[in-house]
Amino acid sequence: MQKELRVAAYAVCVRDGRILLARWVARDGGKHWTLPGGGMDHGEDPYDTVIREAEEETGYTVEPLTLLGVDSIRRTHPRRLGADVDFHGLRIVYEARVTGGELRHETDGSTDMAAWYALEEVPALERVGLVDVGLALWRERPALGRVLPSQMNVE
């Protein structure tokens, strides 16, 4: 089975009780809200990745404030021509604040919208698990930079 490693950096931007999210469009056309961010380019520092990706997906310039933690996921995904891939995602999560720019939607990328949502609205959104992970890291600020499933209550 083919192995694939993806290292990415994401921003948790909370302002006035609202969180900034981007809507990810899956290959099958499904749409789910996620944290702004994405994959690192080869040789890129994750700090620079989160700044670049947040701007691409939301139009905002962000300043990472603190490293909240690292999330590791592993899944098996089918690929074209019937082959499966053993996928390992390493997701570096920062708290960040908006310092400039204007909200806009990404074009020709992996997301199609960006929006602010009240924290109490998040549980009702169609979202990826990373949103819950990011909010748990933001709320709990665990010393080891890791949250357990029992800590991911977003309500």
Segment 89-135, tens digit of pLDDT = 999 999 999 999 999 999 889 999 999 999 999 999 999 999 999 99
Classify residue 59 by its DSSP letter: S
Label residue 154 by pLDDT band (50, 70, 90): low
Region 141-149: what's the mean pLDDT? 90
The confidence score (pLDDT) of residue 151 equals 66
CB 113 within 8 A of CB 105: yes
**Residue 112 Cα distances to 5, 68, 83, 142, 153, angstroms:** 25, 26, 29, 32, 27
What backbone phi and psi angles, to 5 degrees, belong to 104?
-155, 165
Q: How far apart are CA 116 and CA 15, in angstroms?
A: 9
Burial of 34 (0-12, 13-18, 19+ CB in 10 A): buried
Please, what is the Cα angle at 24 between 131 and 79, to 5 degrees? 105
Count CA atoms closer than 13 A to 30's CA, side-chain side.
8
Determine how β-strand 2-12 pairs with β-strand 84-101: parallel
The confidence score (pLDDT) of residue 83 equals 84
The confidence score (pLDDT) of residue 1 equals 85
**Global confidence as pTM:** 0.92
List pLDDT tens digits, range 31-79. Answer: 999 999 999 999 999 999 999 999 999 999 999 999 999 999 999 988 7
Region 125-153: what's the mean pLDDT? 90
**Residue 12 Cα distances to 50, 82, 142, 154, angstroms:** 10, 36, 15, 14
